[in-house]
Structure 1
Amino acid sequence: MTDNTTNIREVVLDVLLEVLENHNLSHIVLKQALEKYLFLERQDRAFITRCVEGTLEYRIQIDAVLDRFSKVKTAKMKPVIREILRMSVYQILYMERVPDSAVCNEAVKLAKKRKFQGLSGFVNGVLRTVSREKGKLVWKDASERYSIPRWMLSMWEEMYGKETSETIAASFLEERPLTVRFNESISPAEKTIGELRDQGITVEKSGTFPGIASIRGFDYLDRVCAFTEGKITVQDPSSSLAAQMASIAPGDFVLDVCGAPGGKAMHAADLLKGTGMVEARDVSGRKTDLIEENIMRCGFRNIRTNVWDATVLDPSMVEQADVVLADLPCSGLGIIGKKPDIKERMTRDEIKNLAKLQREILSVVTQYVKPGGTLVYSTCTITEEENEENADWIEKHLAFEKKRIADLLPEALKISCEENRIQLLPGLHPCDGFFISVFKKKK
């Protein structure tokens, strides 16, 4: 690590202020910060990433520690001091290579640099107490142990039982390698794997999901040749199942109604092998621009984008699509391991609102499916309101019937499958939490 460690910690502080105090999305803010500081050494960028992500992952637990050892509770602290303490406690508890004394000293320097000289003694005192007492810490419940909101754990306990709910919560704190899907119509997977390894990248093929691998040992994705050449697309294994379950055939017209950033649309285009057409839509130009970036990178000619609000009917599209992919806005509780700030933003009321929005969208976009065509309804969450209940609603209120998917699933997942749907749970399955249900439009 460079000698300029305070500057690195300042980057961490600024990201945390944007996410936890200004409520901006962590993956976007962190990505922007890393792009801004591309000149930093790889180990410094790794420190920034780990410290930000770790502080967000353990925020509930960290606040419990601070509230135990500080006379001023975290809710009453000044925002800058609160985030300096949070990031420092994370380093003390979970970053063994950083000496506690260095953490305390750098935190004091940072407080002074941000014009809080009068509180530097408070910062020093709290952190040295945490350092001294960390070996005696005992978590009072599973919420503190797994750093997950109590209401969320209770909800999962009702759905899946206590043991499974804690397995899910624990999985969100595990390290997650980047997973990619091979665009086989551009380059055979084995050839791409060889090219990745030639670049010094560690590749581990998934034992469960065909066409998926995890990659490690690279600094920046845009410097990975296979990525810039469109031979791989970043996608979680669970998400890759959505297009796979659609039984896409050569020449099909596939409509992805909420397509950003484009993973499922790219997969659909890849499965079409140069035939047919995929139209990927989303609500704003900012979102369709993300899809366009992927199209340009991969070079697919059988895919286009369109800015369209999925709640508004497009009369020109009624009964035109062989396949509609409806991966709809959801609470995202299945991807907390990748976006830990979801724990900060989501509420029970918001989940109910999202389930209602999903039905509003479904009542519109299901009209685009041809008679006999396929609807794939999916989410990256693990709540009954947004998943099973809405799948039941489709069958009850719309002109669709269940479409059997067991034969399309990897062997290891068939045991978790019902007739036309599967709920993947993090910790129980080697992927994000994800729900997929498949329907055929009645003729």
Structure 2
Amino acid sequence: MRLHRNLCFAVIDGLMLIFNEGQYADKVISQLLKRDKRWGARDRGFVAETTYDIVRWKRLYAEIAEVKEPFDRDNIWRMFAVWATLKGIKLPDWPYFENTPTRKIKGKFDELSKIRKYRESIPDWMDELGEKELGKELWTKEISALNEQADVILRVNTLKTTKEALQAELFDLDFDTEFLPNYPDALKLKERANVFQTEAFKNGFFEVQDASSQLVADFLNVEPGMRVVDACAGAGGKTLHIATLMQNKGQVIALDIYGNKLNELKRRAKRNGVFNVETRAIETTKVIKKLYDKADRVLIDAPCSGLGVLRRNPDAKWKLQPEFIENIKKTQQEILQQYAKIVKSGGQLVYATCSILPSENQDQINYFLTSETGKDFTFVTDKKVLSHISGYDGFYMALLKKN
């Protein structure tokens, strides 16, 4: 591979924003890709994947490069040189790469690879917490899987097309896909590509949604004609899946504290041909109280640490703080206590997170079931999805039934 100056400069500029200004990697990369209209798919792929790669391995590369935060531009170039050397890329004769100790880099990599927190490039506190909650063996396997690049998974919108028809349409556009056993609506891209420019996407034939995330709506056991509440709907990936499983019959009420996310859900619903979704921004507790004892099904896709989705959000490793996890656990329990009251007698509730930590998952359910509100519920089943076993995001979901 030959390095091109303008592409490398884009990566360095992006890393400065992500590491030093705390900007989100996906938003920075989105802006970088608009920098030069002449860039082709390969150029854009290089910028996006190299930036994500160096974000993912920040601690390891910084340690090898012997640089410390806050990083200046020269520090970032040194980390870039580490990345290129470990990838076997010949460094061009540029001033930024003068005196790069190639052999020393490889030796240091071999040495640090024996220590998990460096090998997997994670903060000390995260490594300690993961081992404490999952045990050494399980955490070692899981954090390794969470450092792999995520596949691009599509969820077929069965209101508009079939999996077979969409696969054929994408094949004609040179996007090769495969079915996934046990994921009825999923298609996996065999190679990463930008599918958002296709007519199939613009016509609402699919959404991009990880395979593990697609399990949640199924877990809710919805049927056409029900009243279903998605209590933390966000931009509505799971809301749309629920509406599809209900064949557009019945009512899905999407709640969220962020009105702008619900506006995005409305746009997506229109594109998907979904018309049984009603959005309600939670501006006061009255919005929730009006729904008490009214829903056949309630989904609580709770805010969480996001440790199960590090593959697609590698910068979360550096943004997350231990106190955030402690605070979010209190929020999770409050949401469970409050929104569980929306379920009517005989109805069902699913509590889900994209975390792999028992303290955010089964411990929350156990605590809830011993509480005053939780005494009305019976535990039915739960599902723990680990990345190193499934190959997809880490997730948790628990199904409860109201007596």
Cα 1:381–1:22 shift into 2, 3 Å: same
Provide the C-alpha distance between the structure 1 equivalents of 2:79 and 2:265, rounded to a whole number of angstroms: 36
CA positional deviation for 1:89: 2.0
What runs of 5+ residues in structure 1 fail to find an aligned partner? 68-72, 109-122, 405-419
Question: In the alignment, what sits opposite 1:401?
Answer: 377
The AA in structure 1 aligned to 2:40 is: E
1:88 corresponds to 2:59? no
CA positional deviation for 1:427: 0.8
Provide the C-alpha distance between the structure 1 equivalents of 2:74 and 2:46, rounded to a whole number of angstroms: 20
CA positional deviation for 1:350: 1.4
Provide the C-alpha distance between the structure 2 equivalents of 1:296 and 1:16, rounded to a whole number of angstroms: 36
Write the mapping of 1:103-142 to structure 2, written as runs, cut at 5 A: 105=94, 108=96, 124-125=98-99, 128-129=100-101, 131-137=102-108, 138-139=111-112, 140-142=114-116
1:317 corresponds to 2:304? no
Provide the C-alpha distance between the structure 1 equivalents of 2:267 and 2:16, rounded to a whole number of angstroms: 29
* Secondary structure class of the residue paired with 2:388: coil
* Secondary structure class of the residue paired with 1:92: helix
Question: In the alignment, what sits opposite 1:412?
Answer: none
Question: In the alignment, what sits opposite 1:74?
Answer: 68
Provide the C-alpha distance between the structure 2 equivalents of 1:374 and 1:78, rounded to a whole number of angstroms: 50
Tell me which stretches of 4 or more aligned residues in structure 1 moved more than 3 Å: 35-39, 216-219, 309-313
Query: Is the contact between residue 230 and residue 297 of structure 1 (CA under 8 Å) also seen in structure 2?
Result: yes
Q: Encode CA deviations 1:206-253: one digit per residue, 9 max, x unaligned.
A: 123222121144642222232222111111111111110111011111
Question: In the alignment, what sits opposite 1:111?
Answer: none
Question: In the alignment, what sits opposite 1:46?
Answer: 45
Provide the C-alpha distance between the structure 1 equivalents of 2:174 and 2:68, rounded to a whole number of angstroms: 44
Query: Is the contact between residue 2 and residue 90 of structure 2 (CA under 8 Å) also seen in structure 1?
Result: no
Question: In the alignment, what sits opposite 1:440?
Answer: 401
Query: Is the contact between residue 334 and residue 434 of structure 1 (CA under 8 Å) also seen in structure 2?
Result: yes
CA positional deviation for 1:285: 2.7
Equivalent residue for 2:242, pick from 253, 257, 268: 268
What percentage of aligned pairs have identical amino acids? 26
Provide the C-alpha distance between the structure 2 equivalents of 1:310 and 1:59, rounded to a whole number of angstroms: 41
CA positional deviation for 1:385: 1.8
Provide the C-alpha distance between the structure 1 equivalents of 2:26 and 2:166, rounded to a whole number of angstroms: 27
> What is the aligned residue count?
398
Query: Is the contact between residue 374 and residue 438 of structure 1 (CA under 8 Å) also seen in structure 2?
Result: yes
Q: Encode CA deviations 1:300-338: one digit per residue, 9 max, x unaligned.
A: 111132222597753322222211111011100001111
Provide the C-alpha distance between the structure 2 equivalents of 1:257 and 1:29, rounded to a whole number of angstroms: 30
TM-score (norm 1): 0.84
1:336 corresponds to 2:310? yes
The AA in structure 2 aligned to 1:425 is: L
Question: In the alignment, what sits opposite 2:28?
Answer: 29
What runs of 5+ residues in structure 2 fail to find an aligned partner? none
Provide the C-alpha distance between the structure 2 equivalents of 1:9 and 1:163, rounded to a whole number of angstroms: 38
Provide the C-alpha distance between the structure 2 equivalents of 1:375 and 1:390, rounded to a whole number of angstroms: 14
Provide the C-alpha distance between the structure 1 equivalents of 2:131 and 2:369, rounded to a whole number of angstroms: 27
* Secondary structure class of the residue paired with 2:166: helix
Cα 1:251–1:38 shift into 2, 3 Å: farther
Cα 1:277–1:171 shift into 2, 3 Å: same
* Secondary structure class of the residue paired with 1:431: coil
Stretch deviating more after TM superposition (168-177 or 323-332) = 168-177
CA positional deviation for 1:403: 4.7
Query: Is the contact between residue 348 and residue 402 of structure 2 (CA under 8 Å) also seen in structure 1?
Result: yes
CA positional deviation for 1:194: 1.1
Query: Is the contact between residue 152 and residue 192 of structure 2 (CA under 8 Å) also seen in structure 1?
Result: no
Cα 1:78–1:218 shift into 2, 3 Å: closer
Query: Is the contact between residue 200 and residue 217 of structure 1 (CA under 8 Å) also seen in structure 2?
Result: no
Q: Encode CA deviations 1:100-134: one digit per residue, 9 max, x unaligned.
A: 2x2x61x62xxxxxxxxxxxxxx633xx11x2323
Question: In the alignment, what sits opposite 1:182?
Answer: 156
Provide the C-alpha distance between the structure 1 equivalents of 2:387 and 2:299, rounded to a whole number of angstroms: 23
Q: Encode CA deviations 1:144-196: one digit per residue, 9 max, x unaligned.
A: 11212232222222233222211111112323220111111221111111111
Cα 1:19–1:311 shift into 2, 3 Å: farther
Q: Encode CA deviations 1:342-399: one digit per residue, 9 max, x unaligned.
A: 1101122211100001112222211211221111100001112211111112211124
Equivalent residue for 1:426, pick from 364, 378, 387: 387
* Secondary structure class of the residue paired with 1:221: coil
Question: In the alignment, what sits opposite 1:237?
Answer: 211
CA positional deviation for 1:25: 1.7
Provide the C-alpha distance between the structure 2 equivalents of 1:19 and 1:204, rounded to a whole number of angstroms: 34
Provide the C-alpha distance between the structure 1 equivalents of 2:7 and 2:139, rounded to a whole number of angstroms: 36
CA RMSD in angstroms, aligned pairs only: 2.2
Query: Is the contact between residue 312 and residue 364 of structure 1 (CA under 8 Å) also seen in structure 2?
Result: no
Provide the C-alpha distance between the structure 1 equivalents of 2:60 and 2:71, rounded to a whole number of angstroms: 19
Question: In the alignment, what sits opposite 1:99?
Answer: 90
CA positional deviation for 1:36: 5.0
CA positional deviation for 1:80: 2.6
Equivalent residue for 1:250, pick from 224, 239, 262: 224
Provide the C-alpha distance between the structure 1 equivalents of 2:154 and 2:378, rounded to a whole number of angstroms: 30
Q: Encode CA deviations 1:53-102: one digit per residue, 9 max, x unaligned.
A: 100111111011012xxxxx423x653333333233222223x3x322x2
Q: Encode CA deviations 1:383-427: one digit per residue, 9 max, x unaligned.
A: 1221111111221112442353xxxxxxxxxxxxxxx11211111
Cα 1:195–1:189 shift into 2, 3 Å: same
